[in-house]
Amino acid sequence: MAIGLEARSLTKRFGQGPEGVTAVNDVSFEIEEGELFSLLGESGCGKTTILRMIAGLEKVTSGTILFSGQDYTHVPPNRRELGMVFQSYALYPHMSVFENVAYGLRIRGTNKTDVTEKVRRALDIVDLPPDTFSQRRPSELSGGQQQRIALARALVYDPRLLLFDEPLSNLDAKLRVYMREEIRKVQQRAGITAIYVTHDQEEALAISDRVAVMFEGVIEQIGTPVEVYDRPASAIVADFIGKANLFSATLTSKTGTGAVARTAAGDVVHGFVNEEAPPSGDDVTVMIRPERLTLRLRDDDAATAANGSTNSLDATIRSLSYLGSRTRYGVETAGGTSLTVDSVRYLERATPGAAVRLSFPAQDTLFLRRQELQP
């Protein structure tokens, strides 16, 4: 596939001198045509600034933005041929739904019959029957419907790229899940390249082809949803996306990508080194997802010993919270490492103080570069 958008060493500084803030620091990525690419991170990480630089709404401090190989870094927003859905939707209260959607076409001087035709098609794509909605005012519509109009307005003139700036943050939780699936459907139906900014990791995983995880103005990792969840490039990514057990250990042996590590207290774990972001020395951070740990009471255990493919650790339950679909245990290993275990099964006798055995596959255990996280 051809490259739809390329960002090279994008940097944005706000303010000057020592008081200035670097919002985006030397960020590069490529987006293929037809791809839905998410920028994911906490508020203030620079994701919206990147989107606004791509839109041309924010001046680029340094770096290059290319659309289909052509330099657009300094082209004003109105000549970039983009569509954008704003967080506030930015629908025009003084225009009907029809006129809102038709806006971009009118600007382009599209002839009347084409305008009607295209607006109807755009409203159809976002599942708003044109006959019912065309003449209403945006203020008469619900949040979800306004969202659809904003999407139709951005799509109607076949932009080269669709930009989403946290489009779902004003909707309630249930509608948010529904609308994100709708957005994904529309994007695929239109076959349009899209960049999607969000702080909601579940949302990003659910709809993206690829996700860029951002932290303090830098992209920590770019990958498919499976990659960023299962093979996080750093402890920061592992910690931000989903829940992760992270603890320090030292590598004792290494064969290919497989390795064995030992914690300071003596727990030994088998796992893998992430090849794309290998640890620099023997000091590593071990990452294991809570739902990949299996917890059994030690007295009815059939004594599975640790071997190359499965880890096994003795531990004691310290706390538990019953969450319905799963039970979350806080456990402490014999070596003193605190871990979180998510278990689908609720065990009657697994109460605080109970002795348990944890087992978890080595293939789900990842050794990352040692990184201290802020709590």
User: Does residue 56 touch other proteins according to CB under 8 A?
Assistant: yes
Q: Point out which span in 73-81, 219-227, 293-301, 365-373 binds other proteins (CB under 8 A).
A: 73-81
Q: Which is nearer to other proteins, 145 or 188 (CB)?
A: 188
Q: Which is nearer to other proteins, 108 or 243 (CB)?
A: 108
Total of residues contacting other proteins (CB under 8 A):
45
Residue 189: which H helix or E strand, with range?
A: helix 173-190
Main-chain dihedrals φ then ψ at residue 126, nearest 5 degrees:
-90, 15
Helix (H, G, I), strand (E, B) or coil at 177: helix
CB atoms inside a 10 Å sphere around CB 61: 16
Binders in 124-163 for other proteins, by CB under 8 A: 153-154, 157-160, 163
Residue 230's closest CA among 313, 175, 277, 287? Answer: 287
Q: CA-based angle 310:314:318, to the nearest 5?
A: 125
- Which of 17, 18, 191, 256 binds other proteins (CB under 8 A)? It is 191
User: Does residue 228 touch other proteins according to CB under 8 A?
Assistant: no
Binders in 20-39 for other proteins, by CB under 8 A: 33-34
Distance of alpha carbon 341 from alpha carbon 331, whole angstroms: 7
Least distance to other proteins, CB of residue 211, Å: 22
User: Does residue 357 touch other proteins according to CB under 8 A?
Assistant: no
Q: CA-based angle 249:255:257, to the nearest 5?
A: 75
313 and 334 in contact (C-beta within 8 Å)?
Answer: yes
Q: Is 226 exposed, middle or buried (0-12, 13-18, 19+ CB in 10 A)?
A: exposed
Place of tokens 């600034």: 49
x/- mask, other proteins, residues 80-109, rule CB under 8 A, reads xxxxx-xxx-x-xxx--------xx--xx-
Q: Which is nearer to other proteins, 94 or 174 (CB)?
A: 94
Question: Angle of helix 143-155 relative to helix 112-125, nearest 10 degrees?
Answer: 130
Least distance to other proteins, CB of residue 67, Å: 8
- N-to-C CA span, the chain: 41
- Which of 147, 193, 294, 312 binds other proteins (CB under 8 A)? It is 193
Q: Which is nearer to other proteins, 33 or 301 (CB)?
A: 33
User: Does residue 4 touch other proteins according to CB under 8 A?
Assistant: yes
Residue 37's closest CA among 171, 250, 222, 181? Answer: 222
User: Does residue 68 touch other proteins according to CB under 8 A?
Assistant: yes
Least distance to other proteins, CB of residue 171, Å: 17
Least distance to other proteins, CB of residue 136, Å: 18
Distance of alpha carbon 81 from alpha carbon 62, whole angstroms: 22
Residues that bind other proteins (CB under 8 A): 2, 4, 33-34, 55-57, 67-68, 70-72, 74-84, 86-88, 90, 92-94, 103-104, 107-108, 153-154, 157-160, 163, 190-193
